[in-house]
A and B are shown apart, each in its own frame.
Chain A
């Protein structure tokens, strides 16, 4: 029998510590919508998404009411459009047309984001992939809910430097086309290394080709719960600290598992994975930075930050894997700057720099996320940053990502405002020395030696 204190603890987590189910994401394969006629294909895409996800939002809300826990976002991810559009799309504008269809269907079924305007080009680009990548600036500036991602490298294949170079240009172009809204288009664009096929979190979600027809992936979150639990471990040794994080991660993930199972049952779509990420929001008390502070740092960025984050990330995984048999996606601690008040404070205090963030990405779950940089940063510099981050992922066999926002017309000392879940961000300085000649080289960086495991 459940005790009163256990009920109190659960409800305290939900009411006071921002425990929520961050997203129920339905992955939908669009492979069977492919057609050489663009109009026919767009109709097929629309019909299939509406048929499968028509009740997604309603179901998510129903589950939230049954268990008394907020299900914050309901989202859709689709097969990378670089593949789906390969027969029909002859121009960049053809891809923009698909993006608009995705945007319209997202609005029709009521989801706040739809991911999968993506290309997987870790080793090379098809003509279609390249067209899609070149269409990203227009697509993101003419749509509201479409998210785009490009996988430019992997441990198995190395780094496609031609794609890295192109993405540096496309990020700058996207920033220009959305300059009226502080270059917000770039907040919906992620460049990956080792991108997972089943990530439920935006902006990087897509439904990989290894996936089934349709699948339900759930992302839970609860940095506030971990922070609160750690208050009881102040001054205690590392064993107690780790134990506390693991226990909390277990409890959070169990909720995700429950919700995922229930959503799968109600929607009659198979359950895929639970992503046990600690994903912050701009809300007070919903911050990964505050956990790092509770562990003992004045601000994230101080010496010891990488070690503290490594510990946190690892304990979250250890606690979480026991709670669900199918853990996947990104699973770990997210360290976006704009979406985490504690990170913003650390930047404003002069404690957190881009270089330290890069070090932190070696041990966290993703990468350089939601970082506003000066609008006059060159495409080559952005490509250089992407290459660095991709190399970290490739060598360490982990997912890394870059979501940089060169805010047109703004520079260090100013602030970019994105609003809502995306928050706001102080513009961070970028190393001004050139990497033009390095980025200009054609071809790819070979796969590392430890990729040869056959």
Chain B
């Protein structure tokens, strides 16, 4: 398992989760956890995913997600989970 964190931030609209999840499903990326909230009309989602069996390399996924983000007016980032673990856990 190779865990990564996806964050999606943007103005709320219909179909954000659907678009992101479709992309992930087509790319062979398994979703382990989703947490989502809306603050002041802004959509804010965090996903924990497993990229171990992804069909493309990490760069490819990052670029793919970034493209999906542009099409739905959101900023989508993917980062390996280690950076958060290292910073916030002893």
Contacts and interface: CB of A to CB of B under 8 A. Distances in A.
- Are both chains from one complex? yes
Interface of A: 1-2, 4, 6-7, 9-11, 62, 65-69, 251, 254-255, 257-258, 322
Contacts of B78: 68
B68 to A, nearest CB: 16
B33 interface: yes
Given A1-B33, A62-B59, A7 B5 contact: yes
11 contacts: A2-B48, A2-B84, A2-B85, A6-B87, A10-B84, A65-B59, A66-B58, A68-B83, A254-B86, A254-B87, A257-B86
A146 to B, nearest CB: 32
Contacts of A254: 86-87
Which of B79, B80, B87 counts the most chain A CB atoms within 10 A? B87
Contacts of B33: 1
A258 B79 CA distance: 13
B70 interface: no
B84 to A, nearest CB: 4
Given A68-B83, A255-B87, A4 B77 contact: no
Nearest to A5: B88
B46 A258 contact: no
Nearest to B33: A1
A7 B82 CA distance: 11
B22 interface: no
B79 A2 contact: no
B20 interface: no
A65 B82 contact: no
A272 to B, nearest CB: 18
A6 B89 CA distance: 10
B31 interface: no
A258 B84 contact: no
Interface string B22-53: 00000000000101010000001010100000
Given A4-B35, A68-B77, A10 B83 contact: yes
A251 B83 contact: no
B80 A67 contact: yes
Given A4-B46, A7-B5, A68 B79 contact: yes
Q: What 6 pairs across the A-B complex have the smallest Cβ distances?
A: A68-B79, A254-B86, A67-B83, A2-B84, A6-B88, A258-B86
Q: Which of B58, B59, B81, B83 has the most CB of A within 10 A?
A: B83
B52 to A, nearest CB: 14
A10 B89 CA distance: 13
A311 B48 CA distance: 39
A6 B62 contact: no
